[in-house]
Structure 1
Amino acid sequence: MLLLLQLTIIILTFISHENKAIAQYVPPYSSVVVPLHKHTDAAKPLYSVEIVTAYVNMQYLHANFLIDLDAPFVWHDCIIQWNIYPGSCPANTLCTSPVSCEEYQCTDVRASYSYTNPSCSPPNNDSTLPGWGYCTCPVTVVDPVTGSCGQAMLNYDEFTVNPNAACAPSSAFQSFPKNVTGVMALSSSPYALPASLFEPLKKVMGLCLPSTLSTSGVLFYGNSNYSLLPQKDVDVRSYLSYTPLIKHPDSFGYFIGVNSIVIKTRSIGIPANATTKISTLEPYTVLRTDIYNPVIRRFSMVTKRIPPAKAVPPFGLCFSTQVGLRVPDIDFNLPEGKKWTISSTNSIKQVTPDVACLALVDGGATSEHAIVIGTFQMEDNFVVFNLENSTFGFSSSLLRKKTSCSNFNFTLVDSF
């Protein structure tokens, strides 16, 4: 299994800088599968993928990258050098060639992406490398953990198809989980990974977030049969329902429509112009106050027989109970009669041995998005972003199918 994973991941490194070679190259595979890990040693739970970044001194260098559905391009811990020759790169360090501010790639990337953080200063062309008079191409990056602005240098990375990744200093990753030194952009940006993969890989991306630290989930790209043990003969995509992806101005993230939230037959309406965002950075689903309050009232009413407990921030409704609290489902009613069911394993967070809380957060009255679906609600759910036909697929809890995201069967991935 380990060899298969290595082969699957290494495929991403076979990239040519020659446009002609890129145009002619057709890889002998239809899918890419990468293990996905959960981290809880940062300010909030986060998820990463481990990939091969380079082949140095007869060995492959690996790095963990946070998955980010909003980032416009990949950025990570590396060093740029105008001239890379044997022995010039420090040991166990990734060195890459910089993109000059005079090259079209610099202008294209800067013109094609935008972070909405108003505190970020625009990049400039004042940066040069020691000993060289050529300008580099600084680009703005935003720390997905703290939201702070930073700067990275656009470069010619070898593990992405286009020169659209950027190098940031090691200090830029201090807020990240241990041994995580990059951001994997999985957004709809023309410079994110989905837009960079060769055919016949379809722009179909699946996420299955694990709920534990000890086991891995899965990130997949392309079309194949994806199986979860013990149902080795069942394609997990057969569990999916689909709803349209909605474009949002000035964002490369993913959005869907939610018509109402239903708790034990009572429907809570969502304003027609409200936006619902899918996030791999928010740990819990965030509801704007006008939606949060009626949801909390309704949930309190249907659980009134459960002894209450003092609220534990950031949650507003908690219960005095042992592990395994049983509560009603929460249904997100979507267009075309589709329903994403949030079961108790994705709605109740055990914060202490004796206290459990409804894992929803008040986003405030002026929240930009009415709903932001967080990672706790997606753990052990299988979700698919199909950029070919602009749809979002969701399974609801896989635990009800007697499986989980930790049971992905790598042995049934199509051979290459």
Structure 2
Amino acid sequence: MDDEYNYCEICPVNVISPVTGECSQVIPTYDQFMFTRSYGGRNVISHNLYATYPTVGSTPTWTFDPFPSSVVGVMALSSSPYTLPAYLRNPVNRIIALCLPSTVSTPGVLFLGNGPYYLNHESNVDITSLLSYTDLLKHPKSFGYFIGVNAIVIKNRSINIPSNATTKISTLDPYTKLRTDIYNDVVRRFSRVTKRIPPAKLVAPFGLCFNNSVNGINVPDIDLVLQDGKKWTILTANSIKQVTEDVACLAVVDNGPTSEHAIVVGTYQFEDNFLLFNLENSTFGFSSSLLHRHTSCSNFNFTISQ
């Protein structure tokens, strides 16, 4: 063998912190991820079932400064060919199911692969039976997840969304961000249908706040009308944020007049919602609030059978 082939070329790549946006260089390599098989939330088989070898990289310790001290790594779950979902193969298909809790004191759950998914080991209800589905859309400049939203409906009044506008599902943004023209229409309409609730001094970053020290908050649902006519209903638990003991605010923020995406659905809007990203057939499943069904993401209860 010629000497020119007796070397290993190392190519560093740039990675961006999802929290700070800062860039650092890493040397890509491969690592082994071992999966255990779960019966959809009822129990876990204790032996390893499946291994995969996605691309990984080690970053400087300072890149984790913004994270809680217990965080030692970040797993990308986008549709990029270099993230974990791209390496999933049968029997663990490229399906991600996410259910975020509404409090930091209780856990949520993340499933990789097919269901069924049960809220706890005693439940006979597969949560996929509660889901509505819409198509996941591709974006030419992003590996994120996108859906088509045609309108936002608040108490029978429709706010139309331009046909060329994009709607992104984001686990990095805490609240839904709306382009200024859409944001102004939503706040104006929501203010009108809640005019009997005493207003409160604004609390950043929100643009509409209420005094709920006396009567509490009872507001209309917000419906995202999707491209296929399905509706993703945002109930009060996901539309109103309690920011102080006496003040609650509409949990959407102004993303500026020239934002790349007309709508970015943030994590507050899908707390206690079960979301399913099926990369096998490019569909997105959503439950709306599980609280409406007298349960929550924190009810997932795994028991390990030896």
Q: Shared topology, TM-score over 0.5?
A: yes
Matches within 5 A, 1:246-325: 246-322=137-213, 324-325=216-217
Distance 2:191 2:120 in 1: 37
CA displacement, residues 181-203 of structure 1 (integer Å, 9 cap, x when unaligned)? 21101011111111112311111
Structure 1 partner of 2:58: 167
Distance 2:143 2:177 in 1: 19
Distance 1:253 1:320 in 2: 37
Structure 1 partner of 2:38: none
Structure 1: which 5+ residue stretches go unaligned? Answer: 1-101, 104-132
Structure 2 partner of 1:155: 29
CA displacement, residues 332-378 of structure 1 (integer Å, 9 cap, x when unaligned)? 00122200000000000000000000000000000000000000000
State whether residues 232 and 409 of structure 1, in contact with CA within 8 Å, keep that contact through their aligned partners in structure 2.
Answer: no
Structure 1 partner of 2:223: 331
Structure 2 partner of 1:364: 256
CA displacement, residues 238-278 of structure 1 (integer Å, 9 cap, x when unaligned)? 11000000000121100000000000000000000000000
Report SS of the residue matched to 1:259: strand
Shift in CA distance, 354/391, structure 1 to aligned 2, threshold 3 Å: same
State whether residues 154 and 163 of structure 1, in contact with CA within 8 Å, keep that contact through their aligned partners in structure 2.
Answer: no
| Number of residue pairs aligned between Structure 1 and Structure 2 | 284
Distance 1:210 1:199 in 2: 29
Structure 2 partner of 1:379: 271
Return the letter of the residue paired with 1:209: L
The offset of 1:230, in angstroms, is 9.0
CA displacement, residues 205-262 of structure 1 (integer Å, 9 cap, x when unaligned)? 1000011111111100112321114970100111100000000012110000000000
Distance 1:230 1:367 in 2: 44
State whether residues 385 and 393 of structure 1, in contact with CA within 8 Å, keep that contact through their aligned partners in structure 2.
Answer: yes
Structure 1 partner of 2:83: 192
* 1:355 to 2:235 alignment: no
Structure 2 partner of 1:389: 281
Distance 2:112 2:141 in 1: 25
* 1:410 to 2:284 alignment: no
State whether residues 230 and 403 of structure 1, in contact with CA within 8 Å, keep that contact through their aligned partners in structure 2.
Answer: no
Return the letter of the residue paired with 1:136: I
Runs of 4+ in 1 over 6 A off after TM superposition: none
Structure 1 partner of 2:42: none
**Which of structures 1 and 2 has the larger relative contact order (alpha carbons within 8 angstroms, sep 6+)?**
2
Structure 2: which 5+ residue stretches go unaligned? Answer: 34-50
State whether residues 121 and 302 of structure 2, in contact with CA within 8 Å, keep that contact through their aligned partners in structure 1.
Answer: no
* Identity across matched positions, percent: 66
Structure 1 partner of 2:44: none
CA displacement, residues 101-127 of structure 1 (integer Å, 9 cap, x when unaligned)? x99xxxxxxxxxxxxxxxxxxxxxxxx
State whether residues 256 and 276 of structure 1, in contact with CA within 8 Å, keep that contact through their aligned partners in structure 2.
Answer: yes
Structure 1 partner of 2:100: 209
- Range 318-327 or range 279-288, more displaced: 318-327
Report SS of the residue matched to 1:357: strand
Report SS of the residue matched to 2:286: strand
Return the letter of the residue paired with 1:219: L
Return the letter of the residue paired with 1:281: L
The offset of 1:173, in angstroms, is 1.0
Distance 2:85 2:21 in 1: 23
Distance 1:374 1:324 in 2: 24
2:11 to 125, 132, 137: 137
Shift in CA distance, 231/319, structure 1 to aligned 2, threshold 3 Å: farther
Shift in CA distance, 163/387, structure 1 to aligned 2, threshold 3 Å: closer
Report SS of the residue matched to 2:15: strand
Distance 2:12 2:155 in 1: 52
Report SS of the residue matched to 2:73: strand
State whether residues 381 and 397 of structure 1, in contact with CA within 8 Å, keep that contact through their aligned partners in structure 2.
Answer: yes
Report SS of the residue matched to 2:274: strand
CA RMSD of aligned residues (A): 2.1
TM-score in terms of structure 1 length: 0.65
State whether residues 342 and 397 of structure 1, in contact with CA within 8 Å, keep that contact through their aligned partners in structure 2.
Answer: yes
Distance 2:255 2:201 in 1: 20
- Range 191-200 or range 395-404, more displaced: 191-200
Report SS of the residue matched to 1:260: strand
Structure 2 partner of 1:238: 129
Structure 2 partner of 1:176: 67
Distance 1:345 1:312 in 2: 18
Distance 1:154 1:208 in 2: 30
Distance 2:247 2:263 in 1: 25
Report SS of the residue matched to 2:109: strand
